[in-house]
Amino acid sequence: MGVRRRRRAGREIPWLDDEAGRLVRPYTVSNGRTRPTAHFDLLTMVMATGKRPVTCQGPDYTQVLGLCGGPVSVAEIAAHIRLPAVVTKVLLADLVDCGALAARAPVPVSACGAGPPNRTDRALLEAVLHGLRKRL
């Protein structure tokens, strides 16, 4: 396995050890920031706008932009880049602020016309419970 390296300014820099994981701590990626400048839910969808970011540069920003060719959720991006959701949200907020990403909050179920809000389908829950009991 070993250490994977990235090239920067003509020299190789180790950034991931297959056994130990990231060699750079997650909160270093966000410069210690834990609060994004915009609100993101884990289901918020983001997509690249095609605009090249001037201020948001680096391997983590490049990796995030590479994942956003089509609509993708915050949770999915966090899983792909293997960073905590809060760090991912900071990176995404930076990219939205510089115009490289567009974000859309999830539509609440009640706004979709799917029925009254906070109403649970009892029959569905009972069917799920029955299925779980059969497996255990």
Task: Look up tokens 């994977």; give the residue.
Answer: 4
List per-residue pLDDT tens for the chain, 136 residues long: 444 445 555 555 445 555 555 555 666 666 667 788 888 899 999 999 999 888 878 888 899 999 999 999 999 999 998 888 888 999 999 999 999 999 998 877 665 555 555 567 788 888 889 989 988 7
SS3 134: helix
Question: Contact 46/99 with Cβ under 8 angstroms?
Answer: no
Residues linked to residue 14 through DSSP beta bridges, in sequence order? 5
Structure tokens at 115: 């029925």
pTM value > 0.75: no
Structure tokens at 118: 């906070």
Residues linked to residue 8 through DSSP beta bridges, in sequence order? 11
Q: How far is CA 40 from each of CA 17, 35, 82, rounded to the nearest angstrom?
A: 30, 10, 18
Order of strands across the sheet with 101-104? 72-73, 45-48, 101-104
